[in-house]
């Protein structure tokens, strides 16, 4: 039974999120319906991250198994055909070793947040960026964002219903810059807590408009208290841009070690993506 890795691009506005749910359409359900229409098989796909309602992706990754050994190019073309007219597109499809798992094999996830910083109402970017009218100091936001880089207890910046076993995460990089009327924030980590990126960006907005300082952000992080968080940014501007993986050989070795460690610890850390 061949395993395929697919890279997916989607507009999150019509969906309740990546994960299949009973309360509305999901990206996962769209792709699974396309698989059934193409192959006749009922398949459950596994995604690298469970992005929430309204959150977008430029490089979400998922894996699926099919009974027939189809060429990857055939799977790619057929699924793109059957996903239409929903705003979901497969950018790539490749065959993988059977130990590959889109979620657990991932070593790094990258997110981008877009803020449309202008007085005029949004037109083309409506639902695709956070509209902030007050001028923002992107340099000040970047400086404050460095508080988050490193290994920290992110209790302040996690949703109260977050299911991760631990609030500790290691943020590898966080960069904020201005491109014309758009302020862009990008961050990278192996995994993120529920609402972590949106919570951090919403807090940095307070720095950008002069209400908070870098010291205020550091104090909020150290408080380890959800009440100390700034306002949570809306889902509109959040994009899962890329997921990184090891080579096949490194992944097999790492997966075996992880399974042994997880069995000993009776469970593993939650590697959900930000949502």
Task: Give the active site residues.
Answer: 52
Sign (positive or negative) of CA dihedral 33, 35, 37, 39? negative
As given in the structure block, the two tokens for residue 57 are 């992706």
Following DSSP, what letter does each residue of 108-165 receive, concatenated? EEEEEEEEEE-SSPPSTTBTTBEEE-S---HHHHHHHHGGGSEEEE-GGGS-TT---S
Q: CA 33 to CA 42: how far, in whole Å?
A: 8
Give the CA distances from residue 99 to residues 82, 155, 167, in Å, rounded to whole numbers and listed in that order. 27, 33, 28
Whether residue 55 contacts residue 22, with contact meaning beta carbons closer than 8 Å, is answered with no
Whether residue 143 contacts residue 174, with contact meaning beta carbons closer than 8 Å, is answered with no
């Amino acid at each position: 039974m061949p395993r395929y890795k697919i890279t997916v691009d989607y507009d999150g506005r019509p969906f309740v999120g990546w994960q299949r749910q009973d309360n509305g359409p999901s990206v996962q359900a769209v792709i699974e319906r396309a698989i059934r229409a193409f192959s006749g098989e009922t398949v459950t796909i596994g995604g690298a991250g469970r992005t929430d309602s309204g959150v977008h992706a430029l490089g979400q990754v998922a894996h699926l198994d099919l009974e027939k050994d189809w060429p990857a190019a055939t799977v790619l073309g057929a699924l793109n055909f059957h996903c239409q007219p929903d705003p979901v597109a497969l950018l790539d499809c490749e065959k993988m070793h059977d130990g590959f798992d889109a979620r657990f094999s991932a070593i790094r996830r990258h997110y981008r947040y877009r803020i449309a910083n202008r007085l005029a109402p949004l037109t083309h970017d409506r639902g695709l960026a956070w509209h902030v009218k007050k001028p923002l100091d992107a340099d000040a936001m970047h400086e404050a964002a460095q508080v988050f880089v490193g290994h920290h207890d992110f209790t302040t910046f996690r949703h109260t219903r977050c299911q991760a076993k631990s609030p500790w995460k290691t943020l590898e990089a966080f960069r904020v810059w201005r491109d014309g009327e758009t302020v862009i924030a990008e961050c990278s980590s192996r995994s993120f807590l529920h609402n972590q990126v949106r919570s951090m960006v919403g807090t940095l907005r307070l720095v950008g408009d002069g209400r908070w300082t870098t010291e205020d952000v550091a104090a909020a992080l150290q408080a380890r208290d959800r009440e100390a968080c700034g306002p949570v940014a809306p889902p509109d501007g959040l994009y899962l841009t890329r997921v990184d993986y090891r080579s096949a050989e490194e992944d097999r070795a790492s997966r075996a070690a992880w399974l042994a460690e997880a069995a000993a610890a009776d469970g593993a850390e939650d590697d959900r993506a930000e949502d």
